[in-house]
Structure 1
Amino acid sequence: MNALSPTERSTIRRGKKRAVADRGALHAVLDAGLICHLGFVADGAPVVLPTGYGREGDTLYVHGSTGAASLRAAAGGAEVCVTVTLLDGIVYSRAVFHFSVNYRSAVVHGRARAVTGRDEKLAALRVITNHLAPGSWEYAREPDQRELAATAVLALDLTEAAVKIRTGPPGDEQADLDRPTWAGVLPLRRSWGPPDPCPELPAGVPVPEHVTSRPGPG
């Protein structure tokens, strides 16, 4: 499946010229992001939780604490919405009305499924860990039984999703183009700083290559 098949709620109507129907674009946005926002209704009220995630194929995994009542509600087969947004630049226009941002965004709808089996939960946590911190699952200690019991993992199929992307210069009115007002794009560049070791780290422990060689986010 290479193209997104829009449903009634995943069909982009506002700014539809920025809609991207390619499933590869959905994967690219999800793979470039680090934090998603998981939205659902619990006890009649909307809840939106920021959390780490990871993608494997057309399945998105998110995680949290089993002690969180809100997450338990989402795990009970409720309809959820997951969003990921990447900011690429601020668009300066000649008129305030046309100020905007360049961005990449993905919205996924569906019913969350609780991952309960030990093997699947470990595999899902590996996906999440290596998405946030590549190479760390193979380097650090795996979760023990107590830690697994304290961690909730949700799986969400990527069947129902939408992608919007804005690139390029401002879209000013023709009548404003001769105004002596600067217009253009201020790109956002992201990079990691030098590793900051834990103060309790024993002397002589080197920074592993998967930390020092990590590419910039986004």
Structure 2
Amino acid sequence: MTTPADLAPTSSSLSPLSPTPRTTPTRGRKRQVDDRARLMALLADALVAHLGVHTGRHPVVLPTAFGVDPAGPDDGGTLYLHGSVAAGWLGPALEQDVCVTVTELDGLVLARTGFHHSMNYRSAVIIGRPRQVTDPEERRRALDLVVDHMVPGRSATLRPATRKEIAATAVVAVPLAEASMKQRAGGATLEPGDLELTGWAGQVPLRRVASEPVTEDYVTEPLPDVVVRRAEELGWDAER
């Protein structure tokens, strides 16, 4: 079972962020985050990553679930992605560096001028050469991490994946060594003279909130504790 404690940073995953020019921000440096622990915290919070890869004919950006192993076998830890073995992106992705992005939107920032309207966010860019995971034990662990990233502890409550399911699923590992993170928080930027303008300015905080879990018609078992706990972590009020 994978728990949030398993995603805690380790010494191998605490090297500084942005180790190369490719992942060093060239603008908005005041929003740059150098603490790798904050990257790991963002990856623990986020539920969707976007994989950017050039297929040979055109670029494509794919939303995907993911799993994280801060102490994984790759430099800086490992980000695991999965997909069909027949996916058109898989072959090209293994032959080039790819870019994975993760973003959490925390609020809308409304200024007195359109130029300074903005958003509060946490975002990460990870660049690296992926590898296809072929070791059976690492593949099983990676797929469990993907499931447990959605609902911690869920994989331990399920039957093990079959050989057919494992064979049909491609698992790709991306090293977390080459990464950058930016974060914005707070109110709108003020220019000289903005205080003399009229009009409302402020923030609209945003957060992800889960609704009550919906049980499938064919299920007679009660809601599992891990599902209740995860829904509550995401804002569902079970007492309401």
CA distance in 1, matches of 2:36, 2:96: 24
Partner secondary structure for residue 88 of structure 1: strand
- Taking the TM superposition and a 5 Å limit, the aligned residue runs for 1:70-81 are 70-74=89-93, 76-81=94-99
| Cross-structure match for 1:123 | 141
Partner secondary structure for residue 190 of structure 1: coil
Among candidates 24, 28, 34, match of residue 15 of structure 1:
28
CA distance in 1, matches of 2:69, 2:229: 23
Larger strand fraction of residues: 1
Q: Is the 8 A contact 1:64 1:152 kept in 2?
A: yes
Once the two structures are TM-superposed, the CA of residue 5 in structure 1 deviates from its matched residue by 4.1
Q: Percent identity?
A: 45
| Cross-structure match for 2:4 | none
| Cross-structure match for 1:59 | 78
CA distance in 2, matches of 1:96, 1:43: 39
| Cross-structure match for 1:207 | 223
Partner secondary structure for residue 103 of structure 1: strand
Q: Is the 8 A contact 1:66 1:72 kept in 2?
A: no
CA distance in 2, matches of 1:10, 1:115: 25
Instruction: Determine if the alignment matches structure 1 residue 26 to structure 2 residue 24.
Output: no
CA distance in 1, matches of 2:196, 2:45: 38
Q: Is the 8 A contact 1:36 1:53 kept in 2?
A: yes
- Taking the TM superposition and a 5 Å limit, the aligned residue runs for 1:86-165 are 86-165=104-183
CA distance in 2, matches of 1:77, 1:121: 20
Alpha-carbon RMSD across the aligned residues, in angstroms, is 1.2
Partner secondary structure for residue 33 of structure 2: coil
Q: Is the 8 A contact 1:2 1:24 kept in 2?
A: no
| Cross-structure match for 2:49 | 36
Report the residue type matching 1:73 in the other structure: P
Once the two structures are TM-superposed, the CA of residue 190 in structure 1 deviates from its matched residue by 1.8
Once the two structures are TM-superposed, the CA of residue 173 in structure 1 deviates from its matched residue by 1.2
TM-score (norm 1): 0.94
CA distance in 1, matches of 2:86, 2:215: 30
